[in-house]
Amino acid sequence: MTTTLHDPTRPATRATTYREALREAHRDAMQRDDRVFLMGEDVGRYGGSYAVSLGLLEEFGEERVRDTPLSESGFTGAGIGAALGGLRPIVEIMTVNFSLLALDQILNNAATLRHMSGGQVSVPLVIRMTTGGGRQLAAQHSRSLEAYYAHIPGITVLAPATLEDARGMLWPALQDPDPVVIFEHGTLYNLAGELPEEPEPVDIAHAAVRRAGTDVTLIGYGGTVWRALAAADDLAGRGIEAEVLDLRVLRPLDDEAVLGSVARTHRAVVVDEGWRSVGIAAEVSARIAEGALYELDAPVERVCGVEVPVPYPKHLEDAALPQVADVVAAARRAVGDYA
């Protein structure tokens, strides 16, 4: 029988999931500030399309957990108005695919009002949405459109990949005087692990090294972070030590972290579920070329979604999205391992 000694210096932890961490983040924000409220399709009585808001209606009431009509433009506009009026709205859009119906509100109103008012008004609005494929939901529910939003000046774009970030990004996002868009990859909601009972504050301005390495940098965000970590495990068995960098913040990109990692490993693989053309991977690759060209010992590799609508059949969906084997193959090319 093995006895584990109690370590009083180790923070107490508890088992949770990504979904539950997000729910706890909402509960914490709503308890801290009575100006915070949640609105969106099915967030109340149904408990959220992905069960993130389950139980919040019963706890906080209909004034602060508001079911909306199926009109993304309408309720996103209402959220912008509430933010202008001094509240701190969290707008949940069921999926990034549907967010295009609200793109006019986000781009032409939320992102521009501070500039167009000469700094007189702010829009302290948080917009959450699910992104990504891998769940056999076909083309209209499986896109990764983060690059559309990372292109827009005037907003911050976050992509929590870990339980800690799922729990900790919402509160600092609500403190931002400008709009913040948070992308949650749909395959992460069931991600399980341990969280401290007393969570540490989360930084929403910088990337994070999730695994240290010396031979190649694997750069991802959201759901691709876990594929990069799995690829790093595979590569380690081949004698290749990969560093895994989680971008976390897609706008503004943390150039210092990206270039610093490339300076350590001299090779880079960017993993992005979005389409290859004019995407996040393209932007990161361009910044590496601009800021660390002479550090590179090999061309930057990109592992991206195939430029087709995401198929429904699983074998075709798998072929269309970046897989661990694709990341491993790209990293091996970068280090010249053709065995």
Question: Domains in the chain, please, with CATH?
Answer: 15-196 (3.40.50.970), 208-335 (3.40.50.920)
Residue 176 CB partners (closer than 8 Å, separation 6+): 124, 156, 204
141, 146, 283, 317: which one is catalytic? Answer: 141
Residue 11's pLDDT band, with cuts at 50, 70 and 90, is low
Residue 124 CB partners (closer than 8 Å, separation 6+): 83, 88, 174, 175, 176, 177, 178, 179
Q: Give the three-class secondary structure for 85.
A: coil
pLDDT at residue 42, as a whole number: 95
Give catalytic status of residue 92 as yes or no: no
pLDDT at residue 2, as a whole number: 34
Query: What confidence tens digit (pLDDT) does each residue in 144-195 have?
Result: 999 999 999 999 999 999 999 999 999 999 999 999 999 999 999 999 999 9
CA angle 115, 110, 182 (to 5 degrees): 125
* pLDDT above 70 coverage of the chain, percent: 96
Q: Does residue 9 carry a pLDDT above 70? A: no
pTM for this one? Answer: 0.94
How far from 5 is each of 2, 9, 10, 11, 239, CA to CA, in Å?
10, 12, 11, 14, 35
20, 24, 41, 72: which one is catalytic? Answer: 72
Give catalytic status of residue 141 as yes or no: yes
Q: How far apart are CA 8 and CA 13, in angstroms?
A: 12
What is the chain's Cα-based Rg? 20
**Residues 213-217, mean pLDDT to the nearest whole number:** 98
Query: What confidence tens digit (pLDDT) does each residue in 249-279 have?
Result: 999 999 999 999 999 999 999 999 999 999 9
